[in-house]
Amino acid sequence: MAIKLHGNPFSPAAQRVLLCLGEKGLDYEFIVLDLMKGEHKTHSFLQLNPFGQVPALEDGDLKLFESRAINQYLANNYADKGAALVSDDRKKQALIAVWSEVESHPFDAAAIGLSRELIVKPMFGGAADGAVVAEQKEKLEKVLDVYEGRLSVSKYLGGESFSLADLHHVPSINALFMTEIKAVFEARPRVAAWCADILGRPAWKKVL
């Protein structure tokens, strides 16, 4: 049975899985849900993700939700295909896991906060809260200062090869690059070069 991904192309979480599928060169069916119509809250979709959030993935009889968990499965189950996004080496595994955790917590928290204020609110006619933007920007700057140091000793966050630790950042960075926050990334030379690298990957260009 073919892989099926249920989601919306404008969802950063769905984009994260689309990117992983592209990096692995896997065939799949993308089932687009209209979030404005609440198609992610229907009974049928709740059987795939009881939290009613996109994306959800089906691979045969396996049903998964949570984009990072889906990508971990894809990277491991299809390790022989496409880009090697994980490693068999235990020490490299640990490094990828560490930086993946950083992405999913301090980085993502700040990125979501900034995206909500600078992208989502204006889309619906609202105005960004300057105090919130300043607070989240400061949090992001602290994370990127750490990244700048890490990228001085390795080409990518998890080591010398592109991995899930880098991949998971791509949708959020792409979104923030369309706002004033792009300057925060560009102010750090190694971070800026890393961003140019991961945003320039062919699989991401296909997602876009």
Q: Which residues of the chain have pLDDT under 50?
A: none
Residues 124-154: tens digit of each pLDDT: 899 999 999 999 999 999 999 999 999 999 9
CA 112 to chain centre: 11
| 179 in the same domain as 146 | yes
| 116 in the same domain as 67 | no
From 49, 78, 107, give the residue that closes a domain: 78
From 50, 78, 106, give the residue that closes a domain: 78
| 189 in the same domain as 124 | yes
| 65 in the same domain as 148 | no
* Closest to 24 (Cα-Cα) out of 3, 45, 53: 3
| 94 in the same domain as 73 | no
| 95 in the same domain as 198 | yes
From 55, 78, 101, give the residue that closes a domain: 78
For the chain, the domain total comes to 2
CA–CA distance from 158 to each of 43, 45, 46 (Å)? 39, 34, 34
Whether 83 is in a domain gets the answer no
* pLDDT value of residue 1: 60
Q: Which domain holds residue 58?
A: 3-78
| 108 in the same domain as 19 | no
CB 17 within 8 A of CB 204: no
Q: What CA–CA distance (Å, rounded) separates 177 from 39? A: 29
| 94 in the same domain as 71 | no
* pLDDT value of residue 34: 92
Q: What CA–CA distance (Å, rounded) separates 175 from 130? A: 18
Both tokens of residue 78?
């299809």
| 166 in the same domain as 74 | no
E strand intervals along the chain: 3-7, 28-32, 56-59, 62-65
**CATH code for position 177:** 1.20.1050.10
Whether 201 is in a domain gets the answer yes
Whether 158 is in a domain gets the answer yes
| 74 in the same domain as 94 | no
CA 88 to chain centre: 22
* pLDDT value of residue 113: 97
* pLDDT value of residue 127: 93
Q: How many CA atoms lie within 13 A of 15 on its CB side?
A: 19
Whether 84 is in a domain gets the answer no
